[in-house]
Structure 1
Amino acid sequence: MSTDNLPTAAAGPLLPDEYDDALRTRLAALDAASDAHAQDQRPDNTTRSYASDWKTWTAFCETLRIPPTAATRGTLRAFVDFLWSREKRAYATIDRKLAGISVTLRQHHGVVVDPEATKSARELLKDYRRQASENEEPERGRGKAPAMRIDALRQIVEKCSDDIFGVRDRAMLLLGFAIAARRAELAGLRLRNIVEDPDGNGLLVDVRVSKTDPRVVPVPYGKHSATCPVLAWKGWAERAQITDPDRHAFRAIHATGSVQPKGITPQRVGDIITAAGARARIPVLFTGHSVRSGMATEARRAGKDPKAIAQITGHKPNSSVLHGYMQIVDRWDTEDNALMGIGL
């Protein structure tokens, strides 16, 4: 039987070493375009952090007289040792800098850091932290943000004035609490991200600027008008005359009281939250994360399912970070003390 007219087997796909120059150029252009797009989507504070991480890394490499592209197991471990032992940096700061170095090398220099090298550096960092704990050294860094409990939130919003500044701050605090917001999430909200529920149940807040996945949080009307996030938001939107859907939801305000078209920075959000707590004479220094931690803590104490809490915070239900937000706030409460009520 002749095989002359039988179809030949289809050739397999090209392997990378078989690409011609034209294809390599097209792929390189696509990589550059995708990197630029990803950079545009990244929050400004993350971009600034990566720039700071790279600056620290390049300065370190200069002391060793090695190029900054030499992110090997040895150099990354030496970097961890330098930051921990010499500069006394916090654990979280060093961990983030390792991530920032890897991202910058990949995106801007085409260097992919060996995951095993990064892993070994992080293992060394964990060893240093464990040793510090065994030696009873104080924890480095600011630590967890104190949770803003409901009673403190009530006192704080009560002290917010009725002028334009107070109306904005009240809305920011209550809505931030309701959506368990980070600073950047509040700063990143646009008017189009906050809409009324079609059935009149409250607000639907689309949190797009987030370290976790974007989420839509259903915010119901509160039982108390003074702490209702829906009423607070409506009061601010009406008072500030916010109409452009693409403009920031929370704006800068001039000293004269005129609302500015530009939004406020994440740092400014944190400053407003801290100042509001001080104004109410709360004996705790609240930070930008306090409303987020406070919401998770109060929801846990109210017996809410971790899955329901995670839907608001944007975490996975079994996330260790989420459980870290659910702070133990009363050591003598039956809900917070595991020894109480067990039969001792």
Structure 2
Amino acid sequence: MNPSNSSLVPRQPGAAPAAYDAATLAVLAAMEKAADEHLDRIIPDNTKRGYANDWALWEEFHDWLGERTGHRIASTNVTKGTLVGFVVWLDTVKIAAPTSIDRRITGVTVTARGLGVEVPKEATVAARKALKPLKADEDRIARGRGAAKAATPEQLRQMAAAVPDGLTGIRDRALWLMAFFIAGRSAEVAAVRVEGITLHSEGLKVRVPGVKGRPAREVVVMYGKNPDTCPVRAWLTWKAASGITTGAAFRAVDVWGNIADRHLTAEAVREIIVRNAERAGVAVRLTGHSMRAGFITTSRRAGKREEKIREQSGHAQNSPAFWGYIREADKWTDAASEDIGL
């Protein structure tokens, strides 16, 4: 063995660790400090500001928690309980979007570790497990991209006038009118079954399937005054043209007019709505959620009661999203600035 290379030989199991002299320890300490300074320098300023905001919210959460428990625990207590509680607080108190909550989890854990806090892996795993169902909720997702533009009756008429001929056009109109009138999430529209839609003299009864842990609901869809935007006529036309009698209500149609035997995906439902709005030249960007938002605001402006609208949409009584739609619909009704003598 070359004596000059003896320091490269791995230490054998059980052997005592090397003892460093004072000079070596000083060099190592200086390199540790330099590494920390270098890593700090390469973090973008926007990221640093984001982490600072995340930690400020973490502090606010602990203040809020302290007010309710009578004891303010240290912010450096990053545990499974506190981190999951933070997720719930951001969702229910701050009404944060899931993507924003995800970033906050990262910001808090990174900052805590920078302060020398050991964050248990089970804490971050549990926090993201609590976040997972929130990422599948379209009402919550809409928080992150701003409120979805609510579709209006005028825009529906515009879309109806631009529907192309053929089986795909027949399906598309039936789909987005059904989405509007059942105040349906895209995943719910995708999951509707033919057997769940029954015809009555007043219109349709539609069983909206439970998706992603939500309960199913049964809603009624009345005949519309305008044949072009009547959801009942549109559904019956699609059902007759497609020949479907059981299974998925809305399915893919290929360029040769062949109909698939399975449900559309939620993403496909959204794409159909976006594509039809763009084809019609609708001035604002409508998304899958626009139909749900549009029904709630349109129904409210028509004077429908809150509890009847919630029955249709499936919102909980204390849903922040629902009351946001109601406030938007009521904005011009009995406005504070109306008829005040000026």
TM over 0.5: yes
**Which interval holds the TM-score relative to the shorter structure?**
0.5 to 0.7
Distance 1:325 1:252 in 2: 32
**CA contact under 8 A between 1:148 and 1:294: conserved in structure 2?**
yes
Residue correspondence of structure 1 range 311-326 to structure 2 within 5 A = 311-326=311-326
Match of 1:145 among 143, 148, 154: 148
Question: In structure 1, the residue corresponding to 2:205 is in which secondary structure?
Answer: strand
Which position in structure 1 is the counterpart of 2:35?
none
**CA contact under 8 A between 1:174 and 1:228: conserved in structure 2?**
yes
- Cα distance, 1:95–1:230 mapped onto 2, change above 3 Å: same
Greater fraction helix: 2
**CA contact under 8 A between 2:300 and 2:329: conserved in structure 1?**
no
Distance 1:159 1:248 in 2: 25
Distance 1:221 1:175 in 2: 12
Give TM-score, length-normalised by structure 2.
0.59
Partner deviation per Cα, 1:245-295 (whole Å, 9 max, x = no partner): xx2100011121211112210001001101111001011111110000000
Give TM-score, length-normalised by structure 1.
0.59
- Cα deviation, residue 325, structure 1: 2.8
Question: In structure 1, the residue corresponding to 2:260 is in which secondary structure?
Answer: strand
Residue correspondence of structure 1 range 277-288 to structure 2 within 5 A = 277-288=277-288
- Cα deviation, residue 343, structure 1: 4.8
Question: In structure 2, the residue corresponding to 1:205 is in which secondary structure?
Answer: strand
Which position in structure 2 is the counterpart of 1:220?
222
Distance 1:285 1:336 in 2: 29
Distance 2:260 2:248 in 1: 10
Q: Which amino acid aligns with 1:93?
A: T
Which position in structure 2 is the counterpart of 1:29?
none
Which position in structure 1 is the counterpart of 2:263?
263
Identity %: 38
- Cα deviation, residue 74, structure 1: 6.8
Residue correspondence of structure 1 range 21-60 to structure 2 within 5 A = none
- Cα distance, 1:342–1:146 mapped onto 2, change above 3 Å: same
Match of 1:174 among 177, 194, 206: 177
- Cα deviation, residue 220, structure 1: 1.0
**CA contact under 8 A between 1:204 and 1:216: conserved in structure 2?**
yes
- Cα deviation, residue 328, structure 1: 2.6
- Cα deviation, residue 315, structure 1: 1.5
Match of 1:162 among 141, 160, 165: 165
Q: Which amino acid aligns with 1:286?
A: L
**CA contact under 8 A between 2:181 and 2:295: conserved in structure 1?**
yes
- Cα distance, 1:149–1:305 mapped onto 2, change above 3 Å: same
Structure 1: state its 5+ residue gaps: 1-69, 81-89, 100-110, 123-138
**CA contact under 8 A between 2:190 and 2:266: conserved in structure 1?**
yes
- The root-mean-square deviation of aligned C-alpha atoms, in Å, is 3.5
**CA contact under 8 A between 1:299 and 1:309: conserved in structure 2?**
yes
Structure 2: state its 5+ residue gaps: 1-77, 89-95, 106-120, 132-141
- Cα deviation, residue 93, structure 1: 2.0
- Cα distance, 1:72–1:279 mapped onto 2, change above 3 Å: same
- Cα distance, 1:150–1:78 mapped onto 2, change above 3 Å: closer
Q: Which amino acid aligns with 1:208?
A: P
- Cα distance, 1:238–1:336 mapped onto 2, change above 3 Å: farther
Distance 1:294 1:182 in 2: 12
Of the two, which has the highest radius of gyration? 2
- Cα distance, 1:330–1:208 mapped onto 2, change above 3 Å: closer
Partner deviation per Cα, 1:287-339 (whole Å, 9 max, x = no partner): 110000000000111111101101100123443221223363697x4x27432
How many equivalent pairs are there? Answer: 229
- Cα deviation, residue 78, structure 1: 10
Question: In structure 2, the residue corresponding to 1:235 is in which secondary structure?
Answer: helix
Distance 2:195 2:338 in 1: 48
**CA contact under 8 A between 2:188 and 2:210: conserved in structure 1?**
yes
- Cα distance, 1:152–1:73 mapped onto 2, change above 3 Å: same
- Cα distance, 1:236–1:209 mapped onto 2, change above 3 Å: same
